[in-house]
Amino acid sequence: MVISGVFIIVLFLVLGNAVSSLTGHFIPGSVIGMLLLFFSLAFKLVRPAWIRPVAEFLTGNMTVFFIPASLGIMEQWGLIRSGFIGWVGVTFISTLLVLVSTGLMQDFLIKTGNRLSKRRNGND
């Protein structure tokens, strides 16, 4: 079961990389692969049970996958230091924008849903 789960995940990664290279690498292959896997799960082409053990292992050990990135940041600190304040500022502002836009969208969707349910129930 684990080997088939690894095969399925790697297959979608390879498919995503192939699509990415055919389209000029506009979107990373790993992202395309995840989208393909998502739609395959949504349309029941792939059963969740097939990949669950591997997915649980990978998500349970995610911190291990961040170690190389953290080491790379530490190794290149001399280059990063000069623009660090700018990166922190951009990260803070973009996070704030995402939070605000998500809240506004959620508020809009709740109000729209309430209006639609009132119309369906005849409470205009």
How does DSSP assign the chain, residue by residue?
-HHHHHHHHHHHHHHHHHHHHHTTSSS-HHHHHHHHHHHHHHTTSS-HHHHHHHHHHHHHTHHHHHHHHHHHHHHTHHHHHTTHHHHHHHHHHHHHHHHHHHHHHHHHHHHHHHHHHHHHTT--
pLDDT over 90 for what percent of the chain? 68
pLDDT class of 22 with cuts at 50, 70, 90: very high
pLDDT digits (tens, 9 = 90+) for 41-90: 999 999 999 999 999 999 999 999 888 888 888 888 888 888 889 989 99
What predicted TM-score, i.e. pTM, was given to this entire model? 0.60
At residue 124, the pLDDT reads 56
Nearest C-alpha neighbor of 46 from the set 37, 57, 56: 37
Q: Once rounded to an integer, what is the mean pLDDT over residues 5-31?
A: 95
